[in-house]
Chains A and B, each alone.
Chain A
Amino acid sequence: MRESKLVNWIIFVFLLFFTLATIYPVINVFTVSLRPGDKLLSTSLEIIPEGATFQSYIKLFTETDFLRWLFNSTFISFVVTLTGVSLASTAGYALSRFKFIGKKSAMLGLMVTQMFPATMLLLPMYIMLMKLGLLNSYIGIVIVYSSTALPFCVWQMKGYYDTIPFSLEEAARIDGCTRWQAFYKIILPLASPALVITALFSFMSAWSEYIVAAQILQDRNLYTLPIGLKSFQSNLTTEWGLYAAASLIVSIPVVILFIILSRYLVSGLTLGSVKE
């Protein structure tokens, strides 16, 4: 027992150093956000720069449309997350549990969609959305985002369902559950770590996407965070203070979401009670 405590402390020290090294670039961004005069770099390594000021943060909320972008992005990301989680959890289940024709090609088909360089798909995607009348609308963007997030989500869910024994559903069916009930009452809760990953991933893919959004959304009222942030930046002159401040604030919702969801990620229902 004592040995394991010692090991834990060694791990603790290691993690401490590793984490510090990891967040160093993020601290750098924080420094930029406090630095006056829009300088991305500096010749000194101070964390609190000379003449540090919160001006960028104040400006961000009072002089830019940041709150609107935040709202738009949050809305889009949540819709994409809901779509991603609901579609992937069902599709993944079928792919894990049933043998049916076209299953293998379906799974490969999903993966194939990820293999094309995104910049090349922009032109046809634009033309397609234009023909469907979905330019400048959230429907278009939500569909595009869901479709880019789905392949990973489906595969991920399928992989996790694979680790849950069949015997659980059999038991449930014997107890009088329908197939659907066996799925959402027994299996789905057990797969909550995978649901969390799926949710986080869908959220992030919508939260940080820029290229498609910039081509499709041409109304400043519809702007998402990445497009908004990009407007602080222009050829060779960027408002680094604002950009850095906004970047940090943009990452906060993701962190909060992670903190909320990580309850299910790491201490969810485990399979410990399953006796084969």
Chain B
Amino acid sequence: MKKLISKILFQTNLIILISLILISCSKPPTNEIQITIWHQMRVDEREILQRQLDRFMKLHPRIKVNQIYKETEELRSGFIIAAIGGQGPEIIYGPQDQVGPFEIMNIILPLDTIFSQEFLNQFNEKGLIWSNNHLWMIADKLGNHLALVYNKKLIKNPPKTDKELIEIGKQLTKDFNNDGKPDQYGLVWNYTEPFFFIPFLTGFGGWVFDEKNNPTLNTEAMIKGLKFIADLRDKHKIIPGEADYDIADVLFKEGKAGMIINGDWSWASYGKAGIDYGIAPLPLIEETGLYAAPMISGKGYSINANIDPEKLPAVKLLLEFLLSPENQLETAKELNTFPTHKSVYDDPFIKENEILINSQRQIELGKPMPIISEMRAVWDAMRPYYQAVLGGAMNPEIAAQKMQDEAVKKIQEMTEDVTSIYAELIFIIAFVVGIILVLILSRRTILSFVKEFSKNSFAYYLVLPAFVVMILVIIYPFIYNIVLSFSNMNLRHINDWSIIGLNQYIKVFSEPVFYTVFLKTIIWTFVNVFFHVTIGVCLALLLNRKIPGKIVFRTLLILPWAIPQYIVALTWRGMFNYEYGAINLILTKYLSLPPVEWLKSPLEAFIAVIITNVWLGFPFMMVIALGALQSIPNELYEAADIEGAKWFHKLWKITIPLIKPVMIPAITLGIIWTFNNLNVVWLVSNAGEPSDQTHILVSYVYKAAFNLYRYGYAAAFSMVIFFILLVMSLSFLKRTRATESVY
């Protein structure tokens, strides 16, 4: 052991260096043209793309195309980050609404300067995304639209009107085993998400923006649409009491729902799950005589503004190839997507395929999704109040009013344009003065540090490597963030941002939500850490005894730590489902308690998130406590036994004080990590549901600032989080005196 460790210590750095050099040496040859595409395609789309790229590379051996998948949100934020750095892929593929922010930020090229009018005339107009007199994206697929999917085994003729929908729904909603809960529903869909609500807004004659792009959410149509959905659930009882995307999907796949409202991306998976399904346009709303119209959106290619001009011809060649009728037809045939190249429309396959025919009808009835970046603010404004109506916490009239106010406020925040002439100068002066002051005040320490260095060099040499690595990585991002927090960097000032002073900080503190979310974060942090540590230490104490099979227990108990968080967090979300989740089934069947609406009411949802996070976090504390227990000499316990001490005396007087030095750092850092734990909250509560009531500070800043491209504000908010944590951990450490030595 000793030899091993010393060897490792001496050789590690050498090994690291050599191996890293070896890896970085393998660079590609330079006579090739490398093109990278970032996209957000599904797996089946990706496979077709790769096939088409392979054909292209065979035709043009000098061009190498590399396709990289990113999830929609990440595609957007990742591309923005890379583009700010002057990098990024040559081509980016995604839904048309990403054009909005990219265009304002000037990070994509206008395509009308690259492609000829003749070439562009070949495409369906809906597939050419123009804005401010320039073309920014050419789509190869149209749609991304919702439609009514029905199970042919249960439904012969799909409903044409809302009355028929309710009637058929009532016939199909059945309680087979008479337990008072339906076992089959007429209709399901992800009705918690505003995108899935749009058809009912349009069906009653509403829309999200007027001609001048001002939000129009406080309308009669909105109120009627909201009432309609609430009625489907509470009055007609043809939809489940709680349905998010996954639950709706599963009910339909298991044949337990007659109809589902879902987008073209999902249809093929129903066939794969063995459901004989048909597609029908969403019904006509009889009251208005309008069809429930979904949003439709093209998906297509844009070109990075940072592209190397020498690569442009190759990129053009590639896009012409990918957008060609042959390739579009191939994709359409395999995925039932609707192409944009007009010459394909006469193909017998497009004309005769039942699904495509109905899909096309729905597309014609649909309304194009606005590409302006304000759309995102509208979604964020609608979601909480929409969910509040469905949760029974708000009536539709008030909700519509609040949605409108919130949308106006968010759009104003998002597009605000603050500049200041003097702020930059003041900032620089303050910065320089600050540094000089620090130097003057700490001159004694610095002098004695230099003196001490030679005296205590052994200690410094031991500490130095770790700190060099830390400083390398942290200092630059840290200072960058401080500067940003005084700036106006946002959607409109992405590359030309300037210092505007304390503006962003004032905004953080003047937001009333900040204080409630802050309080929730404190509760969240302490409840979590308390249970992590208590459960962890208790288990470690138990496992430190002579228990049969303790190795097995120990190993199984670290599983929550070992398994990737994403899937278990979502599994937990499933377990909290009102009707089908394991937790409610245990509560009702074995404990005869009433079921709990875990994900629908704010308090329960918050508890659900905490339970999940406690489960994820206790194994880590257990491992540390196990290690800490080994530092306690047995003699102490033996001596205590001789004096006849009871177990809790031993625990209180020996165990706890002696594991303290090891536990304190873990607890302090546990507090910090829990405070900033974005993932679990995000996944289990589905980004703050219900109604943005389950946020902690980091998830709030992510949603309210980062997502709306308010980078300056987000940076200021992070600085505030940073100072809160600094104060908290300093006072905690002071109490426990962890920076000092024990002996």
Interface residues of A (CB under 8 A from B): 8, 11-12, 14-15, 18-19, 22-26, 28-29, 32, 37-43, 45, 75, 79, 82-83, 85-91, 93-98, 100-104, 106-128, 130, 135, 137-139, 142-144, 146-147, 150-152, 154-156, 158-160, 162-166, 179-180, 184-185, 188-189, 192-197, 200-201, 204, 208, 214-215, 218-220, 226, 229-237, 239, 243-244, 247-248, 250-251, 254-255, 258-259, 262, 265-266, 268-272, 274
Give the interface segment out of B134-142, B229-237, B542-550: B542-550
Task: Tell me the bound Cα distance from A14 to B662 in angstroms.
Answer: 27
Could you tell me the distance in whole angstroms from the C-beta of A88 to the nearest C-beta in chain B?
6
Task: Evaluate whether A147 and B472 lie within 8 angstroms (CB atoms) in the complex, with A95-B463, A270-B633 already known.
Answer: yes
Q: Check A158–B665 contact: CB distance below 8 A.
A: yes
A125 to B678, CA, bound (A): 19
| Chain B nearest Cβ from A195, distance in angstroms | 8
Q: Is the CB–CB distance between B1 and A189 below 8 Å? A: yes
B19 to chain A, nearest CB (A): 7
Q: B36 and A251: CB pair below 8 A?
A: no
The reply to whether A266 and B630 form a contact with Cβ atoms under 8 Å apart is: yes
Find out whether the CB atom of A185 lies under 8 angstroms from the CB atom of B571: no
Which residue of B254, B547, B560 contacts A26 across the interface (Cβ within 8 Å)? B560
Q: Contacts of A115 on B, CB cut-off 8 Å?
A: 672, 676, 721-722, 725-726, 729
Query: Are A11 and B669 within 8 A (Cβ)?
Result: no
Residue B568, interface by CB 8 Å: yes
What's the minimum C-beta distance from A272 to chain B, rounded to whole angstroms?
5
Q: Once the chains bind, are A258 and B555 in contact (CB under 8 Å)? A: yes
CB–CB A19/B557 < 8 A = yes
Contacts of B2 in A (CB 8 A): 184-185, 188-189
Shortest CB-to-CB span from B170 to chain A, Å, is: 21
CA distance in complex: A155, B82 (Å): 34
* Chain B residues with CB under 8 A of A108: 730, 733, 739
- Min C-beta distance of B543 to chain A, whole Å: 8
Any A CB within 8 A of the CB of B256: yes
- Inside 8 A of B574's CB, which chain A residues have their CB? 28, 40-41
Known A122-B81, A143-B469, A229-B564; 20 more pairs at CB < 8 Å: A29-B571, A37-B272, A37-B274, A90-B466, A94-B458, A101-B452, A113-B474, A118-B676, A121-B481, A162-B741, A163-B658, A179-B458, A189-B1, A214-B70, A218-B36, A218-B89, A233-B71, A234-B69, A258-B562, A274-B633
Interchain residue pairs with CB less than 8 A apart (29): A19-B556, A24-B582, A29-B563, A42-B250, A83-B12, A90-B462, A91-B467, A94-B463, A116-B721, A118-B678, A119-B706, A125-B477, A126-B85, A127-B85, A156-B666, A160-B631, A162-B742, A163-B662, A163-B742, A164-B631, A193-B631, A208-B565, A215-B81, A235-B40, A237-B43, A237-B266, A251-B559, A265-B626, A271-B633
Q: A29-B568, A86-B8, A100-B459 are in contact. Are A113 and B470 (CB under 8 A)?
A: yes
CA distance A196 to B628 in the complex (A): 11
Contacting residues of chain B (65-99) with chain A, CB-CB under 8 angstroms:
66, 68-72, 74, 78, 81-82, 84-87, 89
Do the beta carbons of B701 and A151 come within 8 Å of each other? no
> Which residues of B are found within 8 Å of A229, using beta-carbon distances?
564, 566
B706 to chain A, nearest CB (A): 6
The 6 tightest CB contacts between A and B, nearest first, are A155-B665, A124-B480, A124-B477, A193-B627, A98-B459, A94-B462
Instruction: List B530-545 residues whose CB lies under 8 Å from chain A.
Output: 539, 542-545
Interface status of B431 (Cβ within 8 A of chain A)? no
Report whether B66 and A219 are in contact in the complex, using a CB–CB cutoff of 8 Å: yes
Q: What 0/1 pattern do residues 241 to 280 of B give for CB contact below 8 A with A? A: 0000111011101101000000101100100111000000
Q: Per-residue CB proximity of B580-601 to A under 8 Å, as 1/0?
A: 1010010000000000000000
Residues of chain A within 8 A (CB-CB) of B725 are: 115
Contacts of B512 in A (CB 8 A): none
Closest to A235 in B: B72
Contact of B178 with A by CB under 8 A: no
Q: Are B739 and A104 within 8 A (Cβ)?
A: yes
Q: How far is the CB of A11 from chain B (nearest CB, A)?
A: 5
Nearest CB in chain B to that of A24: its residue? B582
- Tell me whether B313 is interfacial, beta carbon within 8 Å: no
CB neighbours (8 Å) of A231 from chain B are: 43, 69
Query: Cβ of A12: which chain B residues have Cβ within 8 Å of it?
Result: 547-549
B668 cross-chain contacts in A, Cβ below 8 A: 111, 155
Q: Is B438 an interface residue (CB 8 A)?
A: no
A251 in contact with B563 (CB, 8 Å): yes
Q: Which residues of B contact A250 (CB under 8 A)?
A: 563-564
Tell yes or no: B369 within 8 A of A by CB: no
Contact residue among B23, B469, B726 (Cβ-Cβ distance under 8 Å from A146): B469
| Chain A residues with CB under 8 A of B582 | 24, 28, 45
The answer on a CB contact under 8 Å between B627 and A152 is: no
Smallest Cβ distance from B79 to chain A, in angstroms? 10
Query: Shortest Cβ distance from B637 into chain A, in angstroms?
Result: 10
Contact for B13 among A37, A86, A193, A226, CB less than 8 A: A86
Is B652's beta carbon under 8 Å from chain A? no
Residues of B within 8 A of A106 (CB): 463, 467
Q: A214-B78, A215-B81 in contact; A237/B42 too (CB < 8 A)?
A: yes
The reply on B570 being an interface residue by CB < 8 A is: yes
- Contact (Cβ within 8 A) A25 B571: yes
How distant is B487 from chain A, measured CB to nearest CB, in Å?
Answer: 12
Q: Which residues of B contact A166 (CB under 8 A)?
A: 743
Does B421 lie at the interface of the complex (its beta carbon under 8 Å from any beta carbon of A)? no
Q: How far is the CA of A219 from the CA of B498 in the complex (A)?
A: 34
When C-beta atoms are compared, the residue in chain A nearest to B95 turns out to be A235
Residues of A within 8 A of B577 (CB): 41
Asked whether any CB of chain A lies closer than 8 Å to the CB of B433, the reply is: no
A88 to B12 alpha-carbon distance, docked (Å): 13
Q: Quick one: closest B residue to A191, CB to CB?
A: B631
Contact assessment for A120 and B559 in the assembled complex, using a CB-CB cutoff below 8 Å = no
Inter-chain CA distance A107–B23, complex, in Å, is 34
Counting CB contacts under 8 A, is B9 at the interface? yes
- Once A39-B249, A83-B12 are accepted as A-B contacts, the answer to whether A188 and B476 lie under 8 Å apart by CB is no
Q: A101-B445, A117-B676 are in contact. Are A43 and B722 (CB under 8 A)?
A: no
Please tell me if B478 contacts chain A, counting CB pairs below 8 Å.
Answer: yes
Contact present for B726 and A112 (CB under 8 Å)? yes
Q: Are B634 and A272 in contact (CB under 8 A)?
A: yes
CB of B456 within 8 A of CB of A160, answer no
Asked whether B474 lies within 8 Å of A147 as measured between CB atoms, the reply is yes
Give the contacts of B50-71 with A (CB-CB under 8 A): 66, 68-71
Assess whether B157 is interfacial by the CB under 8 Å rule: no
A5 CA to B249 CA in the complex, in Å? 51
Contact residues in A for B472 (Cβ distance below 8 Å): 143, 147
